[in-house]
Structure 1
């Protein structure tokens, strides 16, 4: 009886181990299958898709910006929740990416964060002015002077990179270099909106000194620089749940399904 019990236990343990490894292997296969089924937009395709949303489907820019910003705030909260990363600084550029950041700032205050916004080159457009006003009315701290990178850790626990989007072409303008330097050198987790700032939209980082985000939130569809072999050691979420089925078909997009009513899906 004792021998039977010993060998029986060993057999159960062996079967359990095999089963556990099988579950891991199955999970890994599902992950790789999902990644392999993804496709990625070139810079020109991303621009064309955006224009179609505006011109053919009559989305307004503020409509898409609101949905994108909500997606950004939701993804940040999934990975760096306010319970562990209470204070966030959002660094905004002058384009649509910066507008997404301003919207995300408002939503993140509602999610329980203490939010600051650094917006060094402001767009003289009523949409952006209104978004900034809304941030102020929601209690977002508008940072006029950016502290040195080494001092940011004393005030913030996570950074949101809303500096440059998929229309970016180098070089970085002098007025925005301190903002990019802060993202690179602060030693804080960085969450990039759509494209890590300073990256080539298709090739990715141009040097070891480029920004290395901890989280990327792709909007509409991932761009080429978001391929796993380029976007290393970073969480990756897709947001912007607003693409019409005909756009998905036209651009032959293979995207994972959003779960239930969620605005984001992890890739």
Structure 2
């Protein structure tokens, strides 16, 4: 993908997901599984378990959080020691099953986010996805504040939590303005917020067909080997 790569707005991203789950034949479970696997692979490529084994997964209440739960399972199987902070759990079958899968693998959950951030080696931010709308509500006000302050490397799922999917990071002085993750994993296609991100940027969208990509106006990169993610060049497009 070149610097002029196409970005999916929040509205278009939702519409594309709807198409993938209708004429595309995918279920939500399948898309979440593929997204979570992509994120786990991006973590492995950026910070392998030999160097940063302890991973704190901060999961929000929606699909982004579900992606994080799937990633936690794969990270456990990849040799990491994941611990999950999941304070707002929807009582839905899909999410309950993801929690059960983690419990069966002896993955720990924590209620102490302050201690968890202190003790971890790295963080996976799976709080808010492309449907995020402010204001940020508790307990995530405190969590975003911690992410602004931490020196631990952070990988964000799809967009950095607290950023607007279309306009990017919050304005100076607003909550989240100081949060800049080290790694971003865009899912399906980059969102406009990615224009403001200059760190290591992966794309996880190997499940998208050439026909759907052409219909929605974006190109598919060449994924290496059996990888579910590919690193994208920094977008030097002027904002």
SS at 1:192's partner residue? strand
Normalising by structure 1, report the TM-score: 0.82
Residue 184 of structure 2, aligned match among 216, 239, 245: 216
Q: Which structure has more helix as a fraction of its residues?
A: 1
Give, in whole Å, the separation in 1 of the partners of 2:52 and 2:141: 26
Higher Rg: 1
Whether 1:175 and 2:143 are equivalent positions in the alignment is no
Alignment gaps of 5+ in structure 1: 1-33
Q: Which residue of 1 aligns with 2:220?
A: 255
Given that 2:63 and 2:129 are in contact with CA atoms closer than 8 Å, whether structure 1 keeps it comes out as yes
1:42 aligned onto 2:9: yes
Query: What is the alpha-carbon root mean square deviation over aligned residues?
Result: 1.4
Superposition TM-score, scaled by structure 2 size: 0.91
Q: Is the 8 A contact 1:92 1:98 kept in 2?
A: yes
Q: Aligned residue for 1:201?
A: 165
Match of 1:140 in 2: 107
Moved over 4 A (4+): none
Q: Offset at 1:262?
A: 1.2
SS at match of 2:140: helix
Distance 2:202 2:183 in 1: 8
Gaps of 5+ in 2: 233-239
Query: Aligned match of 1:54 in 11, 21, 37?
Result: 21
Match runs of 1:54-203 below 5 Å: 54-147=21-114, 152-153=117-118, 155-203=119-167
In the TM superposition, residue 260 of structure 1 has moved relative to its aligned partner by 2.3
Q: CA deviation at 1:144?
A: 2.0
Q: Select the residue among 218, 242, 248 that pairs with 2:207.
A: 242
Q: Which has the higher contact order (CA 8 A, sep 6+)?
A: 2
1:225 aligns with 2:225: no
TM-fit CA distance, 1:54: 1.1
Shift of 1:37: 4.6
- Distance apart, 1:133 and its partner CA: 1.0
Count of equivalent residues: 228
Distance 1:37 1:111 in 2: 35
